[in-house]
Structure 1
Amino acid sequence: MAFLEENEWILLNEVAYNISFIYTVEEMQKAILNRWLPFLISYDAAVFSRLSVTEDGDFEFMDTEGYNLSLQSIQVWKNQTRKDDAFRWMIYSTNRSTFAEDISQPGSRLQDSEIYHTFWEPNDLSCSAGLCIAFREEPMGFLRLYRKSGSTPFSPRDLFVLEQLRMHFAYRLAYEAKKGDSRYFYAKGYQEKLCRQYGLTAREGEMLDLAVQGWSNDDISKQLSISIHTVKKHFQSIYAKMHVRNRVQMLQCLPISTSKVNFDELQ
């Protein structure tokens, strides 16, 4: 694809890997805004928030992370964005996931909006690029990048980069939202298939399932009423059978990476 050079594709793959495997989703959000994404797209400010849909069909922002914005500005952004009908349309639209806004664009009504006067103008912002993150049409998150006045607008190439990361974000945020229900992530019968494929015992299969849910060795020890030594011994057996060295490599063998998931088979 002409948008990216070879070294940029390599960096993009590295970013995608870290989205899936950084230790906590909060750390992932911070690392994306502060360390990884600026290597691929330049921006002066940003907001990355998870979404939760309420029973009445509305939505709430959760664990919103900002870049180069005050806490007050982030709160204004959250309050004003929830009132924005255009945002609501973007979140629930199935036609596109990326978009761009530019106050200098002909026909733009942004300068007449309340969010422009309360958020854009005080922060000297002039254009933005956004990514709506959804998993199987369920809103999961929202990423918004901004540039200050005098900057060039975001390009189709910038939106292309965001689109390449979309499903990696979607699966990670869906995993976090559905954590504890491993059936949501395994293809039908996949857990049993793994046990047969690698010759795992029933106990090893149970421990593998707990590891997928994010349980630590201490948690597993307490849950199964066995010693830490026994837990480690079981995992060493699992690693040997799956031909991996550690838990990270073990998880990479499972369908919890977007490149290995058949979304049509998910329960």
Structure 2
Amino acid sequence: MEEKVFERDWRFMLDAVLRINSVESVELLEKEALECLCLLIPCTQGTIFVAEESGGTIPHYGRPYAVGMEALFFDEFLNGDYNSDPIFTGTNIPCQTETFRDGDLLPEEYRVQTRLYREIYAKQGIHYALRSYLVHNARMVGNISLFNSKEAGEFSSKDVFIQTTLAPHIALKLGTLLALEDPQRSLRTAQQEKAIDGFGLTGREREIVLMIASDVDDREIADTLCISMGTLKKHIYNAYKKMRVNNRVQLYSLVNVHE
């Protein structure tokens, strides 16, 4: 190990486990988990996503949260089908929580040529990544990643150890919270999803439409998705146009057809 894990590091990790296990919602868990990790592991940016069910073997991600440097390309990542990128496919889908540095999977000369690196990371000054696949009961429940600029340097073995130690606690709590989410909410969301099929919405537009249909106001939507109000208004305009509605009331009536 490059650096020694001191007694204070263990105290901070124990405090992080307590904070992680004390939250009562997925959104609060994302915030606490990421802030705890970034306190223990200095980084340029941190992101966390919740894995959504999909028909394929590779999950799709949603419900993003970020700390540190502004995440400029959440929309592009969510809509860009980057799951097939070598940075992700090189790991396969684990049956238990795993933590790794991208540099341990792909030599730098190959990694910097990947589509994900060129189109997302390089454009916002990200070079190194330390990520965890979060698995609960053999099912992927999320992905948490810390990033560094080239100037900040690669993550150390100590950083890997700390995230490896905390990631299973995050996965356990996230899986538990997801399992406890209101079954009626899941049913209602499934009905809403069915109602908006066929309109040709992008993944981000679908996410926003479902939040509008659940009476979430614009400011909360923008804050939750980590996008600007201007970007949100563009998505809403495009969704309204595709769905041939003019306002929230019409959208609500169209999407909540079973209520």
Q: TM-score, with normalisation over the residues of structure 1? A: 0.60
| Residue of structure 2 equivalent to 1:164 | 165
Q: How do 1:1-150 and structure 2 match up within 5 A?
A: 3-33=4-34, 35-70=35-70, 72-78=72-78, 79-90=80-91, 92-94=93-95, 97-102=98-103, 106=107, 108-150=109-151
Deviates more, 1:87-96 or 1:11-20: 87-96
Per the TM alignment, residue 107 of structure 1 is displaced from its structure 2 partner at its CA by 5.3
TM superposition shift of 1:148? 0.9
Structure 1 position 67, deviation (Å): 2.1
- What is the alpha-carbon distance in structure 2 between the residues aligned to residue 95 and residue 21 of structure 1? 23
* Residue identity opposite 1:59 in structure 2: P
User: Where in structure 1 are there 5+ consecutive unaligned residues?
Assistant: 182-267
SS in 1 for 2:169: helix
- Inter-partner Cα distance in structure 2 for 1:95 and 1:26: 22
Q: Distance in 1 between matches of 2:174 and 2:22?
A: 12
Sequence identity of aligned pairs in percent? 16
Q: Which amino acid aligns with 1:7?
A: R
Structure 1 pair 69–82 and aligned structure 2 pair: CA distance change class (3 A): farther
Where in structure 2 are there 5+ consecutive unaligned residues? 183-259
Q: For residues 72 and 178 of structure 2, what CA distance do their matches in structure 1 show? A: 27
- Could you tell me how far 1:96 is from its partner in structure 2? 7.1
Provide the secondary structure at the position in 2 that maps to 1:134: strand
Between the aligned partners of 2:107 and 2:181, the Cα distance in structure 1 is 48
Larger Rg over CA atoms = 1
**Does 2:152 match 1:151?**
yes
Aligned in 2, Cα 1:113/1:143: closer, same or farther, shift over 3 Å? same
**Conserved 8 A contact 2:99-2:133:** yes
State how many pairs are aligned.
180
Larger relative contact order (C-alpha < 8 A, sep ≥ 6)?
2
Deviations 1:7-60 (A, max 9, x none): 111110110111111232212212333x32222101001210111232343412
Q: Which amino acid aligns with 2:169?
A: H
Structure 1 CA distance for aligned equivalents of residues 97 and 4 of structure 2: 19
Could you tell me which amino acid in structure 1 is paired with residue 44 of structure 2?
Answer: D
